[in-house]
Amino acid sequence: MHRVALAQSGNGAQGGLDFLLPIGARTVGMGQAGTAIAVGSDALWWNPALIARGPREASMQITQTLATQTGADAGVAFIYAVPRVGAVGLSLRYLNYGEQDATDSTQQLTGKFAQTGTIVAATFAAPFGDRLAIGLTAKLLRVGFPCTGDCSFTIGNAASPQTGALDLGAQYLVTGDSLLTLGAAVRNVGFKLQVNDTPQADALPGRLYLGAAAAPKWGQLPKDVRVRAAADLVWRLSDAGTPGLNLGGELSFKERYQLRAGYVVNGATGSGLTFGAGISTGKLQIDFSRMLNDVSQQSGVTPTYVALRYLY
């Protein structure tokens, strides 16, 4: 019944897979390598520590994937930061996996239903000295099955199951000018998601992320051009599945125009190339990205991400 299109390594059943669907146009464009380098509202989803020294902003994210081709995937976020003190963030993500037929034991149509997921989260992050930052996100996932007609035979007793989870992240600036940055995050650690009954409850998709990012200064490049590169290693916490690898880079001009590309290996939504672009008009940042992975090739749907971020 769950329509989240995920390509996971390992055999353990997991619940709350909504937590794994990528979000954040800038980070996705960089191969989902955001543990050490995600900025602003992207950081809320990838590593909460990264908002500690980031800007104040309000943002909106819109995504279309195989899972939401006929539904919706949208997120909004708000970050309030105080220099050298810390930052708080609030975020909301809504997923609708599209309408499905409800049938009875004879396969007769009895109604229509959809599966939805709503994630509400609160984040706090603080710097410790000039180089270390630590952040924590508490989030709540509520799954819904809105129905028109009679859906009792198809969805059974599934009403509105919910579960809570925590993300804990850290960032360390190896060099004072941020040329080399390290990041770590443990995400989606919490209670099992129970849809029908306790014996069928599934563990959440916990993940450990270790990342590094570099922004080298090359004398051969024009002074207005900047290059950034990042890499993440990803491990499952609940079983010994194959680790994932996220690689990405960004080329920017005057910090106003950006081009991004990356590659994902053994990601939650498959393996393959990513690319994206961004433009800044001062306080408004617009980002766009797409994923060309094996799952999208099989389905014929190319995941697309758009973000609007307003800095205030």
pLDDT tens-digit series, residues 30-73: 999 999 999 999 999 999 999 999 899 999 999 987 667 778 89
Q: How many Å apart are CA 109 and CA 270, to the nearest integer?
A: 33
Q: How many domains does the chain have?
A: 1
**For residue 258, how many other CB atoms are within 10 A of its CB?**
21
56: domain CATH number is 2.40.160.60
Q: Is the pLDDT of residue 155 over 80?
A: no
Residue 12 lies in a domain: no
Residue 10 lies in a domain: no
**pLDDT band of 22, cuts 50, 70, 90:** very high
pLDDT value at residue 71: 81
Residue 5 lies in a domain: no
**Chain center to CA of 39:** 13
Range of the domain at 267: 17-311
pTM for this prediction: 0.90
Q: Provide the mean pLDDT of the chain.
A: 89
Residue 277 lies in a domain: yes
Q: How many Å apart are CA 95 and CA 48, to the nearest integer?
A: 21
Residue 185 lies in a domain: yes
191-250 pLDDT per residue, tens: 888 765 545 678 899 999 999 999 998 888 898 999 999 999 999 998 777 899 999 999
Residue 8 lies in a domain: no
pLDDT value at residue 11: 41
Residue 47 lies in a domain: yes
> Mean pLDDT throughout 85-94?
97
Residue 205 lies in a domain: yes
pLDDT value at residue 15: 82
